[in-house]
Amino acid sequence: MSDQLVAFPEDWHRALVLVAHPDDPEYGLAAAVAQWTAAGKRISYALASSGEAGIEGLAPDKAGPIREAEQRESARIVGVHEVEFWGYPDSRIRNTPKLRNEIADAIRWQAPDVVLTLYGGAEWAPGMPNQRDHMEFAAAVEQAYDSLDRKPRWLFCNGPEPTHAVAVKNRYVKQAVKSLAAHREYLSVLDPNKPVAEQAQEQVDRMTAARDDFDADHAVAFELLRRA
Ligand SMILES: [Zn+2]
């Protein structure tokens, strides 16, 4: 157990974050994104859906625009100003040729050095199943990546068996907390009994915690899926 994680590469300029739903970037990688954009790297987000099925008791046509606005604000807080929503149906995302083409086109268009995406495995841990949207979307990203003639240098996901990590400074952890807390409406319905700021703090603390396999006070870990 516990081989040391490798430091995440630094010699790149552009990254594209590909996810299924609003809040996916904030659960996992926003602290790293905040640090990267502060260092002058350019990062954009593309989301398959608008998360319109994600606010209980709120109709999709109401929830979708709220979640898009919250996502744009979350992104802005960590220095990301390019956010795209592709309009695939939340909770019914499937690994179709259309989705794979959309992903491949986005990668070709943006020509990032790094692509970051969701974990696509069936379980996070025994008894902790992954969401089907995430699994389908992640599989589509891997296949789209493999189909490209000119591949980005790295494809990473934020899965449970990481290979690499970013040592993030405390100020970027704080930014990540603000970024997650920008999903105000979503989080306030998700857990009405706990203030949004407190939920965000707990989640980000967990996701950026110090680890045995990497020397840093705060770390964001990634699994390398492909290296071109
Ligand atoms: Zn999600």
- Alpha carbon of 21 to ligand 1 centroid (Å): 5
- Alpha carbon of 159 to ligand 1 centroid (Å): 13
Tens of pLDDT, residues 177-187: 999 999 999 99
**pLDDT the model gives residue 85:** 98
Tens of pLDDT, residues 190-210: 999 999 999 999 999 999 999
Report residue 9 CA to chain centroid gap: 17
- Alpha carbon of 79 to ligand 1 centroid (Å): 21
- Alpha carbon of 130 to ligand 1 centroid (Å): 10
- Alpha carbon of 152 to ligand 1 centroid (Å): 23
Mean pLDDT in the chain? Answer: 96
pTM, 2 dp: 0.96
Domains of the chain, earliest start first: 14-227 (3.40.50.10320)
SS3 call for 220 = strand
- Alpha carbon of 54 to ligand 1 centroid (Å): 9
List, as ranges, residues with CB under 5 A of the ion ligand 1. Answer: 20-21, 24
Residues 6+ apart with CB under 8 A from 120: 130, 134, 135, 137, 138, 139, 141, 142, 157, 159
Tens of pLDDT, residues 90-111: 999 999 999 999 999 999 999 9
- Segment 157-184 shows an average pLDDT of 97
C-alpha span between 40 and 30 (Å, rounded): 15
Torsions phi, psi for 148 (to 5 deg) = -80, 140
- Alpha carbon of 3 to ligand 1 centroid (Å): 29
